[in-house]
Structure 1
Amino acid sequence: MHATCGIDWAEDHHDVAVVDSEARLLGKLRISDDAAGFQDLLRLLAEHGDRSDDPIPVAIETSRGLLVAYLRASGRRVYAINPMAVARYRDRHAVSRKKSDHQDAVVLANILRTDAALHRPLPSDSDLVKAIAVLARAQQDAVWDRTRAHNRLRSHLREYYPAILEAFAGKRERLLAREARAILAIAPTPGEAAQLSHARLRSAVTRAGRQRRIAAETDRLLEVFRRTWLRQPAVVEKAMGRQTLALLAQLDAACQACDDLARDAEELFLQHPDAEIITSFPGLATLTGARLLAEIGDDRARFSRAGDLKAYAGSAPVTRQSGKSRHVAHRRVKNSRLAATGRHWAFAALTASPGAHAHYNRRRDNGDRYHAALRNLFNRMLGQLHHCLTNHQEFDEAIAFGQRTRSPLTAAA
């Protein structure tokens, strides 16, 4: 590389440094976070040999934002360097531990000058995958927000309203069920719940979408609400009911965001040519496939080997060895979104694929715990996915697991 560029990113300005192959500082500049600042950056790069057919590579501490988007659109290689890695490189140039934005920009430029081969440039994903990633990650964030909102509401209800928790204790969705939220909206206190008429409660249950056994469910709920429960003082109970309505509004908003974003993410995902291959795998539905594609992208040069993808997902183990000591453990530094999606995928594959179930059972028989066996299954199926995407072919159970796909009943017959 004849020259490399480092950018120390900040919220409203960015420090830029350009160095040559001998580590000499060619130029430095502080630019604003707008179109004018980007033009200043391009002029600085052009002064030091930047050309359309040979653009100067750039190292920066983030992979997102308008500046990164414009740098990628210019056709140059952009390297997102972890700030923790930058801190360790900083000690190579100064032992005094001094720090400045300009110095960090120089460190970033020198990282590319010396160790560019050890770092990955940002992938050249299509715009469609980038859009899918925005929606899939937002939907995943909304799911986590929904879980937090549910836990806050449940914790609050335990202090004064055990009847509503008892009424939906046997439901899979608990307070996330539409019936539970509909009842809380009209009866945020146990006193109001006990005074509900059969007709009003039946209307709420019907409005929530229930279509079968409406009368029986209404009778069951009334019986629970009219039992004798411990109660807070009336004025305190009323105040806590007002807080419940506020928490319920947050939960309703999170549930609506989950549904809307899931629908939009699935619609975009089905437009991608890789969607048919991804959803051919057992346990991968449309939304889970969208999350998976959002994290691995469609740049085939990004993961040249299946092992690279497995390490990125955290499914491949990591070995720490020194002398006679050797320890193999699961990776903690990974793409957390991809790892979370992998757990859901592996769990769903247990009932969707005989081969996956047999592989999981073998791992458990060999001493793996539940999560370790699921992670191993995810690791294997991730390698299969890498092969299918690389060779443009759909999943085949017989090829993926061979003769091991036979169920115990079939083998016994």
Structure 2
Amino acid sequence: MKIFCGIDWASDHHDIALVDADGTLVARARIPDDVAGLQQLLDLLAEHGDTPETRIPAAIETSRGLLVACLRATDRPVYAINPMAASRYRDRHTVARKKSDHFDAMVLANILRTDTAAHRTLPADTELAQAIAVLARAQQDAVWDRTQAANKLRSHLREYFPGYLAAVQPILGGLCSSAARALLAAAATPGRAARLTKTQLRAALKRAGRQRGIEAEVTRLQAVLRAPQMRQLPLVEDAMGHQALTLLRKLDAACTSADELAEAAVAAFETHPDADIVTSFPGLGSLTGARVLAEIGDDRSRFADARALKSYAGAAPVTRASGKSVSVKARRIKNQRLAAAGYVWSFASLTASAGARAHYDRRRTTGDRHISALRNLFNRMIGCLHHCLAKQVHYDETMAFPSRLEPIFTAAA
């Protein structure tokens, strides 16, 4: 008898419901979120026919957490159901707007009973791929946190210290650079900055790791910081300087976290068997490659074809037809992390690949905007990546852009 399991999870307990092929509830339980609860769940599944050869599938509204990890370790099919989809299914079973944990568990079990083919199991990625995903996503979050911290600091400095923003604007990396942060730590107000000597400026740059062009940079910084600018009242200026140092400490922590996680993600990625294939693509370094591999995984059966991967990445457009009306629009529902990595990848490939540049220019000539042209280029590149990973071959420019190489080389000549 076919059995389906639904799990309504919470922070401290989980509700379990088992239904058969006819939708009849055959078992229910509430288990704690600990080892004893996990064993209780496994025993309950075993009582209803769960064996190593025929695992009972489980549906749950999350893809993370210890319970999900332990269920995946038993090699059973685990379906992560979108909470919005589960909410729509709930309306099929009741017209009342009531909600209970046990009822939600039954809804999840019935989703597998009726529409298993419409949902996908969690990918069977290797342990290394899962570790890369943890590190790459954490590093991407750290980069976003760093950008947010830098924007907050920039907005605050604009209110009382515009001269500092003018001084660090030519520095590579802007506010996030070590030189800019060391300079602000040495003098957080216009008054203190104007009194900085060349010796103090030189010491700040050396603490930040600068080794070349120090004297010229010291002269430029001193001239900019001593230039006349609008000022707040003295006491207000000192108070805003204290606030700037607080925001600076947050930015320092975000920068350190992003750098350390980047090193760890790259180190783990470079040990993966697919790393050489991924980085053979133009515009894909180890860090961006780690982000791409983190989202697509190394389970080759996850995507049936290149079109499925393109849709998952948001690179393929959506065509909607109703009567005589047909519209083609950009895909909004997608993996946002993979789409963000795809933008970086496609933009970097413009200077690394003649074929990619020719493809981008052709799309721009036909009327595409910058973002649309990059998305179309990403669509082509990720399709090539799917092929290369499936066939275990490296990127070949002549195969990826067979008709785009000759014109650009001729023009360059």
TM-score (norm 2): 0.98
| Deviations, residues 268-310 of structure 1 (Å, cap 9, x unaligned) | 1010000000000000000000000000000000012001101
| Deviations, residues 85-138 of structure 1 (Å, cap 9, x unaligned) | 001011111122221111110000000001101100000000000000000000
Q: What is the aligned partner in structure 1 of residue 178 from structure 2? A: 178
Q: What is the aligned partner in structure 2 of residue 201 from structure 1? A: 201
8 Å CA contact 1:136, 1:262 repeated in 2: yes
Is the partner of 1:403 in helix, strand or coil? coil
Is the partner of 2:403 in helix, strand or coil? helix
Q: Supply the AA of the counterpart residue of 2:66.
A: L
Q: Give the distance between the partners of 1:196 and 1:171, measured in 2 at CA.
A: 19
Q: What is the aligned partner in structure 2 of residue 297 from structure 1? A: 297
Is the partner of 1:229 in helix, strand or coil? coil
Is the partner of 1:326 in helix, strand or coil? strand
Rate the CA distance shift 1:407–1:249 in 2: closer, same or farther, 3 A: farther
**Does structure 1 residue 25 correspond to structure 2 residue 25?**
yes
| Deviations, residues 359-379 of structure 1 (Å, cap 9, x unaligned) | 111111111111111001000
Q: Supply the AA of the counterpart residue of 2:190.
A: P
Percent of pairs with identical residues: 63
Q: CA deviation at 1:172?
A: 3.9
Q: What is the aligned partner in structure 1 of residue 94 from structure 2? A: 94
8 Å CA contact 1:355, 1:406 repeated in 2: no
Q: Give the distance between the partners of 2:206 and 2:107, measured in 1 at CA.
A: 64
| Deviations, residues 296-336 of structure 1 (Å, cap 9, x unaligned) | 00000001200110111010111222212211111111100
**Does structure 1 residue 216 correspond to structure 2 residue 234?**
no
Q: What is the aligned partner in structure 1 of residue 340 from structure 2? A: 340
Q: What is the aligned partner in structure 1 of residue 104 from structure 2? A: 104
Q: Give the distance between the partners of 2:109 and 2:409, measured in 1 at CA.
A: 62
Q: Supply the AA of the counterpart residue of 2:251.
A: L
| Deviations, residues 238-297 of structure 1 (Å, cap 9, x unaligned) | 111111111111101111111110011000101000000000000000000000000000
Is the partner of 1:406 in helix, strand or coil? helix
Q: What is the aligned partner in structure 1 of residue 13 from structure 2? A: 13
Q: Give the distance between the partners of 1:134 and 1:198, measured in 2 at CA.
A: 45
Is the partner of 2:326 in helix, strand or coil? strand
8 Å CA contact 2:163, 2:229 repeated in 1: yes
Q: What is the aligned partner in structure 2 of residue 278 from structure 1? A: 278
Q: What is the aligned partner in structure 2 of residue 403 from structure 1? A: 403
For the aligned residue pairs, the C-alpha RMSD in angstroms reads 1.1
Q: Give the distance between the partners of 2:173 and 2:404, measured in 1 at CA.
A: 36
Q: Supply the AA of the counterpart residue of 2:88.
A: R
Q: CA deviation at 1:412?
A: 7.3
Is the partner of 1:327 in helix, strand or coil? strand
Please list, as runs of the form range in 1=range in 2, the aligned pairs for 1:74-93 lying within 5 A after superposition. Answer: 74-93=74-93
8 Å CA contact 1:5, 1:19 repeated in 2: yes
- Runs of at least 4 residues off by over 4 Å: none
Q: CA deviation at 1:409?
A: 4.7
TM-score (norm 1): 0.98
Which ranges of structure 2 fall in alignment gaps of 5 or more residues?
none
8 Å CA contact 1:354, 1:406 repeated in 2: no
Q: Give the distance between the partners of 2:172 and 2:219, measured in 1 at CA.
A: 20
Q: Give the distance between the partners of 1:95 and 1:207, measured in 2 at CA.
A: 67
| Deviations, residues 132-166 of structure 1 (Å, cap 9, x unaligned) | 00000000000000000000000111111111011
Q: Give the distance between the partners of 1:402 and 1:229, measured in 2 at CA.
A: 57
Q: Give the distance between the partners of 1:401 and 1:281, measured in 2 at CA.
A: 13
Q: Give the distance between the partners of 2:408 and 2:125, measured in 1 at CA.
A: 43
